Structure 1
């Protein structure tokens, strides 16, 4: 083998080993879908409650549940080192229905709220930077922002019959968000990213009637996206 051929062969091996590299200084963008599914544990509605809270205890009080939602999502990742990355996910606002539970089970939708979780993750990516498959773990600081809360006609009929519509306000919160995920290279530039995160989130819903309800939402987030590496 000539010197020139040896050089070409060595260069080819080098490129093959670094084709999928997520090395320091690499930028990655992605787009896909994300689902947020709350695991709700609701407290009782403050007085006046509409259930048999006095005689029946907590079982008979008015509670609530919250639906899941799926939206377009994506994110931006910067590789600070070959293993440490900073990731900022983005998504359209999630719309969650507030549903009657406890003494109001079967009452249907009591309202709706939009949620926009704003998170920045610090991630650790396992295996070598050139690995085609790279699992990772992360820990994020999240501001769970709730807005555009709307009470339903059924809620008004129950809480303020004959009066003005009952309005809702859900407290926004700062929380920590642990995360696991992985990327799989499709080519030297394109990849698939999947992730799962779970947050401990407790908040309070306030009504214009003066009542309130404490709720543990503890949402899980699932995402899958296609990305491009620079």
Structure 2
């Protein structure tokens, strides 16, 4: 009886201590705090300001992602997040400061490879496809004071994404996650002021760093 009780308790303890392992058919849900840091490169603002470029500010936001394990090692991840960014003038436009602000919605589907899905520490890499939608674009008061009432439109973008991350076991079905992505985002901004249309091409290409918690279902 004592031996049977010991075996039962030991089995229960091991079950509680077991890592939040992932295997074919499992869902992982993660919530992260993310930093979106553009590594932008822009053209001049043509035709009015051909020698002046723009920069895009960093943004912090919450993010939720869902991963489905197609096999023990391969998973499909979809992220859901939206961030707001300011576009500022450089060169001769730097004194104007903020030119435009916009919201960005970048759903990204990634195929991940998990190196050790049943370990305590589970690194992974991913390659994905991104679609970015820009919405609620708005010219700043400073810009409109300088050149007049302006309508702003940013083209949506298709591109690739690269990912590396790690899940670290905390408790049964619960883990810590650290994740880094590079997302290829290119857009053309169209600024219409009366009969004048200015355009600027911007490669935003952000690095997205996230830290959060995840659960296995």
Q: For this pair of structures, how many residues does the alignment match?
A: 214
Higher-strand-fraction structure: 2
**1:141 Cα deviation (Å)?**
0.9
Correspondence list, 1:124-163, <5 A: 124-127=113-116, 129-160=117-148
Q: Which sits farther off after the overlay, 19-28 or 96-105?
A: 19-28
2:59 counterpart (50, 69, 73): 69
Match of 1:57 in 2: none
Match of 1:46 in 2: 46
For 1:94 and 1:116, the matched residues in 2 are separated by: 7
- CA deviations 1:66-107 (Å, max 9, x no partner) are 10101111211111111111111112x201011111211232
Cα contact 1:17–1:130 (8 A) shared by 2:
no
Determine which structure has more spread, i.e. the larger CA radius of gyration.
1
1:182 counterpart (166, 174, 177): 166
Match of 2:35 in 1: 35
Q: Would you say 1:83 and 2:56 are equivalent positions?
A: no
Match of 1:220 in 2: 207
- CA deviations 1:7-62 (Å, max 9, x no partner) are 7599569747954311111111121211111111111011122xxx5xxxxxxx12
Match of 1:112 in 2: 101
Q: Would you say 1:203 and 2:187 are equivalent positions?
A: yes
Cα contact 1:192–1:227 (8 A) shared by 2:
yes
- CA deviations 1:138-188 (Å, max 9, x no partner) are 01111011110000122123333xxxx201111111111010001001011
Unpaired stretches in structure 2, ≥5 consecutive residues: none
Match of 1:56 in 2: none
For residues 99 and 15 of structure 1, do their structure 2 counterparts lie closer, same or farther at Cα, with a shift above 3 Å needed?
A: same
For 2:114 and 2:190, the matched residues in 1 are separated by: 41
For residues 17 and 80 of structure 1, do their structure 2 counterparts lie closer, same or farther at Cα, with a shift above 3 Å needed?
A: farther
Aligned-residue Cα RMSD (Å) equals 2.3
For 2:144 and 2:16, the matched residues in 1 are separated by: 65
For 1:9 and 1:157, the matched residues in 2 are separated by: 74
Cα contact 1:76–1:89 (8 A) shared by 2:
yes
TM-score (norm 2): 0.89
TM-score (norm 1): 0.84
For 1:204 and 1:19, the matched residues in 2 are separated by: 47
